[in-house]
Amino acid sequence: MELKQIYTPGLAHLSYVFSGKTSCIVVDPAREISQYIRIAKNMGKPIAAILETHLHADFVSGHRELARMTGARIYISQKAEADFAHHGLQDGEVLYIDSFSVRMLETPGHTPESSVFVVADLERGPVPTLVFTGDTLLVGDVGRPDLFPEREEELAASLYQSLRRIEELGDHVEVYPAHGAGSLCGKRLSPKLSSTIGTERLYNIPLNTHPQSKFIEKLLRDMPEVPSHFSRCSEINRRGPALSSELTRPKPYQPKDFADLLDRGCLAVDTRDVLPICAAHIPGAFGLSLKGNFGTSAGWSLPPDVPLLLVADSKENLEEAVKGLHAVGQDHVIGYLDGGMEAWVASGRKTARIECLAAEELYVRRNDPSLTLVDARLKGEFKRGHIFGAVHVTAPKVAGHYGEWKRSGALAFVCTLGTQSLLAATLLMRLDSNLKIYVMIGGIKAWEAMDYPLVK
């Protein structure tokens, strides 16, 4: 067996290609499928099967397109009620593909249709050697069961029982999950990207929490925010995502035509770094720097099905942004600013700016009653340490607080490095360009570098 793990930055998503004597199998593919075709080619074998552990919520899967390109068959639990061509698996069903036996176990909890795939390499023997656990069992954690709010206790109870099924596997069995640290599919994922059943039995706190009632209570406490695009991506994956050939290819637009499209309702997405966007950006643009958690932030913040226009500072960054948007189901990327922001400035058109505060400046003004300090990170990050007096509102949710802030003297946003503060600032500026807004450049990292205190 040859196994390759693929990591998708910005989503902390993990997918896999493994090969036997004559063919390859892909597990939980990302939407960008060329990487799997390239890996299979390097392995010298065609892709024969695609395994989906569940209907992923944080990204759009490449299963349908990969099947079309390779002729591979898609396998997913029949409980997914998928609308695309597939083989619906029943609990305990065993697939014999190449030199492998692959047994699907239903493990509801993270989602109702979640499953795991237990793999034995029959060239070595019938005993399973690895398991693809999706988001049921993660390294150091388990998948969140609250994506269906009205069913969270029911799904948490199901997850407890599902973990007992996985525990039955031997300590030697290798664990390959669908996400690592940085994903919002769990609470405290480890930066390690694989493990073993034995290691998780020793160190995974949720796995070792008993009885079921205590497990449910502890698991559901302090869950991270649920981004708004999660349910949308899950449904896209159930229906079957659009193929690349069906998507609009972004076209270059000169500043005048770009501005006309904005006037007709398109949205500008500026993907540059924090300082350039703060210095000058197109009024009303979303500040979504590629240096941040671009895919998650874009899926969470941008309205679906509205045509998008990109501002980027290189062809490579433009391509990265398009892939990142497609990964979260933002398929209506119709164009980009030809010549970038320099062309817009040269055309003489209006620009907007955001004032910046360094950590040293904010420290001096920390007790200023006319300044409201807003921490735009996730609530788990905020609880681990924040600047005294800061209020917490996750960046994509700041628009909901406009009513209470519109009469504030000034607002200063802080996050880890500045990218979420930038997003928060531009979201509010879209509502009211007259607000006095600051972005703390360098974020909490710069604050700590100055040895300024944080509170919990």
Query: Within a domain: residue 319?
Result: yes
Do 80 and 151 fall into the same domain? yes
Tally of domains within the chain: 3
Do 404 and 434 fall into the same domain? yes
Interhelix angle 63-70/34-43, rounded to 10 degrees, is 50
CA 390, 396, 397, 398 torsion: positive or negative?
positive
Domain end, chosen from 209, 233, 257, is at 233
Which DSSP category does 400 fall into? G
Buried b (16+ CB within 10 A) or exposed e, 160-190: bebbeebeebeeebbbbbbbbbebbbbbebb
Which one, of 437, 441, 363, 428, lies nearest residue 399 by Cα? 428
Query: Within a domain: residue 240?
Result: no
Query: Within a domain: residue 241?
Result: no
Query: How do the residues of the chain divide into helix, strand and coil, expressed in percent and rounded to 5?
Result: 35, 25, 40
What pLDDT score was predicted for residue 169? 96
The pTM for the full model equals 0.93
pLDDT < 50 stretches in the chain:
none
What pLDDT score was predicted for residue 149? 87
Do 281 and 145 fall into the same domain? no
Do 204 and 311 fall into the same domain? no
Query: Within a domain: residue 113?
Result: yes
Do 310 and 364 fall into the same domain? no
Do 95 and 182 fall into the same domain? yes
Domain end, chosen from 313, 346, 379, is at 346
Do 191 and 312 fall into the same domain? no
Do 359 and 320 fall into the same domain? no
Do 179 and 58 fall into the same domain? yes
Query: Within a domain: residue 454?
Result: no
Query: Within a domain: residue 238?
Result: no
What pLDDT score was predicted for residue 407? 80
- Show the domain range for 413: 355-449
Which one, of 427, 116, 170, 390, lies nearest residue 301 by Cα? 427
CB 332 within 8 A of CB 310: no
Query: Within a domain: residue 428?
Result: yes
Which DSSP category does 275 fall into? H
Q: What is the CATH number of the domain that holds 185?
A: 3.60.15.10
Cα 414 from Cα 419, distance rounded (Å): 9
Query: Within a domain: residue 164?
Result: yes
Domain end, chosen from 194, 211, 233, is at 233
Do 259 and 211 fall into the same domain? no
Do 183 and 39 fall into the same domain? yes
Q: What is the CATH number of the domain that holds 339?
A: 3.40.250.10
What pLDDT score was predicted for residue 84? 96
DSSP reduced 3-state for 455: strand
Do 262 and 227 fall into the same domain? no
What pLDDT score was predicted for residue 207? 97
